[in-house]
Chains A and B, each alone.
Chain A
Amino acid sequence: MRLVSRFTSVGVLGLVAGIGLAACSDSAPNRPAAKTSAVTAVTQYAGTPARVRRMTPDQYTNTISYVFGDDLSIGEPFAPLPRTDGLLASGASSAGMTAGELQQLQRSASQIAAQVVDKGNPGERTSPRRDFLVPCKPAALDAVDDACAAKFIKQTGRLLYRHTLSDATVTDLVGSARKGATELKDFYAGLATVIEGMLIDPGVLLITDTAESDPNHPGKKRLTAYALASRLSFFLWDAAPDDALLKAAESGALYTKKGRAAAVDAMIASPRLAAGVRAFFDDMFGFEEFVITAKDPKTYPMITGQTLVDAREQTLRTVTDHLITRRGDYRDLFLTRNTFISPTLAPVYGVPSTTGWSPYEFPADAHRAGILSQISFLALHSHPARSSATKRGKALRELLLCQRVPPPPPNVDFSAVENPDPTLRTARERLTRHSINPVCAGCHKITDPIGLALETFDGAGRYREAEKGVKLDTSGSLDGKTFNSSEGLGQALHDHPQLASCLVKRVYSFGTGGPLSAADTPAVEALSTAFAQTGYKVPDLLRMIALSDAFAEVVEIPPAPAKSAAAGQHQVAQ
């Protein structure tokens, strides 16, 4: 068991949270983000409403890992968030919390607290976590020790609540620890009940944008320094602020251009950035669906549960490697042949097996260019036992271009396109029936010409050149740009003007904690222009958003949320 205490070494804690990165890339320190004058271009735009959002499950896990170490069992206490304006994270700003969910969170809190004060087991060679995580030793194990309890509560509470605790709160919590130690005749048991209480406190579980008058802009409001620190940290690290960021908030440094830039640059240079980038793309790509994705074992016997877990991981590794480690152009994510391979993925791709995860570059003739040709996209947007050009086309438009594919008319009679028809052997032949039916054609013509270019990959993501003996025709078009292969589709997507602007919209929503409104349009447009000027470097985009005035300013009247692009479920017949 690896134990870490933030009190013994804050530096080590940063490393702990960055373990995921260490495993998925060479984790070389990120080069400083480019300082672009474009940042100033977005400072003039309005801020965002003060929101109260729930901590997402990943943010909770990352925060607990940072504060208490990443070997704690947390469970799955959270209700699923509604996908809002393309992101689950945006749904966190409107979702409520039921009594049943709080019950689950309390049980999880109890388990976490027990682990934090665990006394270890010499027989099982487990170390006492309490020795690492509690910064002092009580005078006696079975008695009250207010001074030690207060030290722990102040330090831990500051990280969990994301601000220095008031004297009244400390007094209340120390009183609870005292009562617990007295009733239970155990100092650490008393402390555990206080930890439980903190972990179900809305001050911990809800991220509240507290605002104050902005002295630099009379009549305007800004986030308080602590709220700004939280917004920055949940944006860039998908976790609560660390000690250094809280200190920057306390000192007022976050309110100076230089101080805020220094803090943001340090966060972007940190290995913890990978956690934030992974969380964002996992959300934007709709990867939560992997939890319930399975393939028909008779049709795809090589696809196991682990294959799908690895497929998700492969794409996230590709993303962080390309965007952070290599500082690549975001658009090239749809062209790159560089990726990582695991033992379960190797046979599906038909490449040499590996031991653990290994970097891999597909040959130029392997037809594997960009993440559209990875198993994650291909298998997730297919049926359990066959591919789906419609699902793939719909996913590309909604997830990557922020477009909306309309639902089918509810009373459409599908008898005209019913299967099986023995004369129809390929998806193109089957879907042609949709395109000649005027009721179906409206929607299918915007999805199918995209997805048909990926028909050389079956429902599991394996490459093929023919279906039922018929050579596959992978020609198609995307908003006026034609192609005849999956690589061509990748290039068309790379060149699509909405690819980058969609990312900017989603990243801005992710950072500011809620769905976009019309009031955000100028800021998003300016950011899109600036993003292009950086060469579509995502760390630079993150930096621009984090340093913009709009990020820190608060508008009084919450604008109406934009219509969700993907609020509904799969509505086109697929």
Chain B
Amino acid sequence: MNGFNRRRVLRGMLDGTAVCVALPLLNCFLNGNGTALADGSKLPVRFGTWQWGLGLNRAVFTPKKVGANFDLPEEIASLAPVQKHINLFSNFDCFRDAAPNLCHKTGWVIMRAGIAPANQGDLPGETLDVTIAKKISTTTRFQTLTATATGNVRDSYSYENAKSVNIADWSPMQFYAKLFGEDFQDPNLPEFKPSARTMVRKSVLTGVLDRTKELTKTVGAEDKARIDQYFSGLRDLERQFDQQLQKPEPRAACHPAKAPTEDAKPGMDHELVAQRHKLMTELMVMAVACDQTRVFNMATSAQQAATTKPGYDKPHHTATHEEPIDAQLGYQKEVSWFIRREMELWAEYVAAFAKFKEGDGTLLDNMLIYASTDQSLARLHQIDGLPMFTAGKAGGKLKTGLHLDGKGGAGTRLGYTAMKVFGLDNASWGTQSNNTSKEIGEILV
């Protein structure tokens, strides 16, 4: 294949005109043993996140046994089918130092951005997914993809900076159109015809870039930073146009299904959330399989989970504060019902990637998914002992099937470990007490 580099051939032949090129088919997409692409380059390793709301009930969530083959208490019993694919991290802490404990915010912001927010209006700054995307997801159509099962565009935990949130896709129909609509280039089509319209679009964009640059000269420093960001966004668009003019690398696993014909009804009933979660997960799996992105995010709730249970008058968050502790069980029964449902969704999410074949393994083998939440014991807004998970072997770099006790250490160690897995060269991550330069070595191969 080295003598037949598609991009080189197409670039040479294209040169501003439309061409059709027949390309080899699926059986030569991968090398002989299915561990790499046919041209010898490694299968891409991806980073994903998953967010659930309102933590845990330690007594029925945290395994007694540390290490491999850990027990699954009843609140996480649904993880049994995916236990071998995940790691569970307990007893890792968030440190707010002098900052206030902002209900439902401090915990997730520290875990995703390494910094304790000063007030509820404080946005987190660059989040872990964006940092990693800058390293590993610069050649795909989307640098990151963010989806939510809540139906609310606002429920995103991905921030480009303190003033810019990455939009959460909430509608399966719209998400499909974005991923596999008109601009999607099927990487497995035998013929490739570069779009003349895309070439013209790129030409028009040059003028827009020039005018944007001019605009930066007329505004103050703070606004200049925003327009610089705008300029970078346009350059990213330009990069995408360039990419669309090249034949994408074939992806054997890429087979988009038909477009959904209707969205889940609005509402926060758990069944509706689960329905949206399933649809969005299926689309996300295919987006990754088609190499549309290498960094992706999914959330099951807002930072105060508003999920409801049919016939029960309190949403999840309200229940954490108003439901009495069951004297016999020792925990809030209805609150636990909500957490159990969320753990079922986590199991489904992991399984969706685990069952998707790629090469001689699965998509999950070539990714690291990081799961976090906003509180540990939500009833008291606790942020010590925030539970976390990972899933996937990150292309063979990670062990799975382990339960790790953090013994009160910084939870940011897991985010830092993820950064190291993806080859970032920062010496540490996080601020003040959340600053760490220590990976969680027990999960590294």
Which A residues are within 8 Å of any B CB, using their own CB?
50-52, 75-76, 79-80, 82, 84, 94-104, 106-107, 169, 172-173, 176, 179-180, 183-184, 189-190, 193-194, 196-197, 200-203, 206, 208, 210, 291-294, 296-299, 305, 383-386, 407-408, 410-415, 417-420, 558, 564, 567-571, 573-574
Contacts and interface: CB of A to CB of B under 8 A. Distances in A.
Contact of A571 (B103, B146, B268, B379): B103
Interface string B191-213: 00000110111011101101110
Contacts of B311: 296, 298-299, 385
A102 B201 contact: no
B226 A100 contact: no
B164 interface: yes
Contacts of A420: 324
Contact of A202 (B215, B304, B313): B215
Given A208-B219, A384-B315, A414-B379, A571 B120 contact: yes
B321 interface: yes
Contact of B197 (A51, A100, A193, A413): A193
Contact of A296 (B104, B203, B208, B310): B310
Contacts of B405: none
B220 interface: yes
Contacts of B268: 292, 294, 384
Most chain B CB within 10 A, of A104, A203, A384, A417, is at A384
A132 to B, nearest CB: 23
Given A201-B208, A291-B152, A97 B226 contact: yes
11 contacts: A98-B166, A176-B200, A184-B197, A383-B314, A384-B315, A385-B311, A410-B100, A410-B380, A411-B101, A411-B380, A573-B318
Given A96-B163, A104-B167, A193 B200 contact: yes
B211 A99 contact: no
Interface of B: 100-104, 119-121, 123, 142-144, 146, 150-154, 160-161, 163-167, 174, 178, 183, 196-197, 199-201, 203-205, 207-208, 210-212, 215, 218-220, 222-223, 226-227, 229-230, 232-234, 236-237, 240, 265-269, 303-304, 306, 308, 310-315, 318, 321-325, 379-382
B304 A570 contact: yes
Given A193-B201, A202-B230, A418-B322, A94 B163 contact: yes
A357 B410 CA distance: 58
Contacts of A169: 211
A177 to B, nearest CB: 9
A84 B120 CA distance: 11
A98 B313 contact: no
B186 to A, nearest CB: 18
Nearest to B159: A98
Contacts of A96: 160-161, 163-164, 226, 229-230
A200 B234 CA distance: 9
B237 A569 contact: no
Most chain B CB within 10 A, of A183, A202, A420, is at A202
Contacts of A385: 308, 311-314
Contacts of A299: 311, 313
Contacts of B203: 176, 179-180
B104 A292 contact: no
Nearest to A561: B121
A305 B262 CA distance: 15
Contacts of A172: 207, 210
Contacts of A197: 201, 204-205, 207-208
A174 to B, nearest CB: 11
Contact of B303 (A75, A418, A569, A573): A569
A414 B322 CA distance: 7
A60 B294 CA distance: 32
B150 to A, nearest CB: 7
Most chain B CB within 10 A, of A107, A180, A291, A410, is at A410
Nearest to B241: A106
A104 B145 CA distance: 12
B139 to A, nearest CB: 14
B308 A573 contact: no
Contacts of A84: 121
B123 A292 contact: no
A298 B315 contact: no
Contacts of B382: 411
A189 to B, nearest CB: 7
Given A52-B223, A103-B142, A176-B207, 18 more contacts: A75-B174, A80-B165, A96-B160, A97-B233, A99-B143, A99-B236, A102-B233, A104-B167, A172-B210, A202-B227, A208-B215, A383-B318, A410-B381, A414-B321, A415-B325, A419-B324, A568-B120, A568-B121
A412 B100 CA distance: 14
B409 to A, nearest CB: 22
Contacts of B208: 197, 200-202
Contact of B200 (A80, A190, A419): A190
A196 B207 CA distance: 12
B237 A407 contact: no
A100 B207 contact: no
Given A52-B219, A202-B227, A298 B310 contact: yes
Nearest to A102: B233
Contact of B212 (A202, A293, A413): A202
B4 to A, nearest CB: 28
A189 B174 CA distance: 25
Contacts of A570: 304
B165 A52 contact: no
Contact of B266 (A189, A296, A305, A571): A305
A101 B146 CA distance: 12
Nearest to B236: A99
A570 B167 CA distance: 22
Nearest to B207: A172
Most chain B CB within 10 A, of A420, A558, A568, is at A568
The 6 closest A-B pairs by CB, nearest first: A568-B120, A567-B121, A294-B267, A96-B164, A197-B204, A102-B233
A102 B315 contact: no
A292 B150 contact: yes
Contacts of A413: 379-380
Contacts of A574: 318
A52 B217 CA distance: 13
B105 to A, nearest CB: 8
Contacts of A76: 153, 174
Contacts of B230: 96-97, 102, 202, 206
A407 B120 contact: yes
B215 A107 contact: no
Most chain B CB within 10 A, of A100, A407, A417, A574, is at A100
Nearest to B265: A305
B120 A184 contact: no
Contact of A183 (B102, B146, B150, B196): B196
B323 A419 contact: yes
Most chain B CB within 10 A, of A296, A412, A420, is at A296
Given A179-B203, A410-B381, A415-B325, A100 B104 contact: no
B237 A106 contact: yes
A99 to B, nearest CB: 4
Contacts of B146: 100
A507 to B, nearest CB: 22
Contacts of B211: 169, 201-203
B167 A101 contact: yes
A499 B150 CA distance: 34
A293 B322 CA distance: 21
B154 A569 contact: no
Contacts of A297: 269, 310
Given A296-B308, A571-B120, A102 B236 contact: yes
A384 B165 contact: no
Given A51-B223, A567-B119, A407 B204 contact: no
A420 B334 CA distance: 12
A210 to B, nearest CB: 7
A523 to B, nearest CB: 21
